[in-house]
């Protein structure tokens, strides 16, 4: 049960992180970087969109779906194994996408976004958490 709670907290953290990025972009206000860095170099680059959709919007959708999936395993335990397998697939894709974007930040943009790095860390932890949950189920 502790891994379920951890997963829920991670998903909510991802929603908060992506929500902050999305809100600041819509308000056209600069991001407050705790490391005194210019995150807009990354968040306003040509890499900030995938298939025409802003990456933080995709993140919000992903984290909300993952949260709903985990709540679904609690509400409908008979479907938990299937939901966890689907969540492993989704978290694998998110982890690969995050690794790609981190690589772009360092190799192409040559700058980084604190909030994007937080999201990548959350994705890594959600992937690991899903692996553990799948083994327990």
Q: Can you give the pLDDT at residue 136?
A: 79
Cβ distance 43 to 31 under 8 Å?
A: yes
Could you state, in order of their start, the residue ranges of all structural domains in the chain?
A: 2-136
* Residue showing tokens 């998110």: 94
Stretch (H or E) spanning 49: strand 49-50
d(CA 100, CA 76): 34
How many angstroms separate the Cα of 126 from the Cα of each of 72, 87, 98?
A: 16, 9, 12
pTM of the model: 0.94
Beta carbons within 10 angstroms of residue 95's beta carbon = 18
Q: Which pLDDT belongs to residue 2?
A: 84
Find the helix or strand (DSSP H, E) in which 54 lies. strand 53-54
User: Please, what sign has the CA dihedral across residues 123, 15, 103, 91?
Assistant: positive
Task: Report the sign of the C-alpha dihedral through residues 115, 124, 56, 12, in that order.
Answer: negative
Separation CA 20–CA 17 (nearest Å): 5
> 27 exposed, middle or buried (CB, 10 Å; 0-12, 13-18, 19+)?
exposed
Tens-level pLDDT at each residue, the chain (137 residues): 789 999 999 999 999 999 999 999 999 888 888 888 888 899 999 999 999 999 999 999 999 999 999 999 999 999 999 999 999 999 999 999 999 999 999 999 999 999 999 999 999 999 999 999 998 76
Q: What integer pLDDT is reported at residue 18 of this predicted model?
A: 97
Please name the fold of domain 2-136: de novo design (two linked rop proteins) (1.20.1440)
């Amino acid at each position: 049960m502790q891994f379920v709670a951890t997963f829920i907290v991670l998903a909510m953290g991802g929603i908060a992180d992506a929500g902050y990025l999305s809100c600041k972009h819509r308000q056209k206000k600069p991001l407050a970087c705790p490391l005194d860095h210019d995150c807009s170099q990354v968040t306003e680059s040509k890499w900030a969109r995938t298939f025409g959709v802003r990456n933080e919007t995709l993140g919000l959708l992903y984290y909300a779906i993952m949260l709903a999936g985990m709540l679904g395993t609690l509400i409908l335990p008979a479907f938990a194994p299937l939901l966890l397998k689907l969540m492993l697939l989704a978290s694998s894709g998110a982890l690969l996408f995050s690794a790609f974007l981190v690589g772009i930040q360092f190799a192409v943009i040559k700058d980084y976004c604190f909030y994007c790095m937080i999201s990548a860390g959350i994705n890594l932890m959600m992937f690991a958490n899903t692996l553990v949950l799948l083994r327990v189920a």
